[in-house]
Amino acid sequence: MTDRILTPDELEAALRAIGAERYHNLHPFHRALHDGRLNKGQVQAWALNRYYYQASIPAKDASLLARLPTTELRREWRRRLEDHDGTQPGTGGVARWLKLTDGLGLDRAYVESLEGLLPGTRFAVEAYVQFVRERSILEAIASSLTELFSPTIISERVAGMLGNYDFVTEETLAYFKPRLTQAPQDSAFALAYVREHARTAEQQTAVLNALRFKCNVLWSMLDALDYAYVVPGHVPPGAFRPGPQA
**Rule CB under 6 A: which residues touch ligand PQQ?**
57, 93, 144, 146-147, 150, 153-154, 179, 218
Question: Whole-number minimum distance, CB 117 to ligand PQQ, in Å?
Answer: 18
Question: Whole-number minimum distance, CB 99 to ligand PQQ, in Å?
Answer: 14
Question: Whole-number minimum distance, CB 4 to ligand PQQ, in Å?
Answer: 29
CB 139 within 8 A of CB 203: no
Cα–Cα separations (whole angstroms), residue 16 to 20, 58, 146, 169, 174: 6, 25, 9, 32, 28
- Long-range contacts of the stretch 228-237 (C-beta < 8 A, 24+): 228/45, 228/118, 228/120, 229/41, 229/42, 229/45, 230/29, 230/32, 230/42, 236/118, 236/119
Question: Whole-number minimum distance, CB 201 to ligand PQQ, in Å?
Answer: 25
Three-class SS of residue 35? Answer: helix
Cβ closest to ligand PQQ, residue 93 vs residue 120: 93
Cβ closest to ligand PQQ, residue 118 vs residue 148: 148
Cβ closest to ligand PQQ, residue 49 vs residue 144: 144
**105 dihedral zone (left: phi>0; alpha: psi -120 to 50; beta):** left
CB 124 within 8 A of CB 217: yes
Question: Whole-number minimum distance, CB 176 to ligand PQQ, in Å?
Answer: 7
Cβ closest to ligand PQQ, residue 35 vs residue 202: 35
Question: Whole-number minimum distance, CB 80 to ligand PQQ, in Å?
Answer: 7
Cβ closest to ligand PQQ, residue 198 vs residue 218: 218
Is the torsion defined by CA of 211, 120, 179, 173 positive or negative?
positive
Of 99, 95, 98, 100, nearest in space to 83 by CA: 95
Burial of 70 (C-beta count, 10 Å sphere; 0-12/13-18/19+): exposed
Cβ closest to ligand PQQ, residue 41 vs residue 83: 83
Which residue sits closest to ligand PQQ, CB atoms considered?
Answer: 146
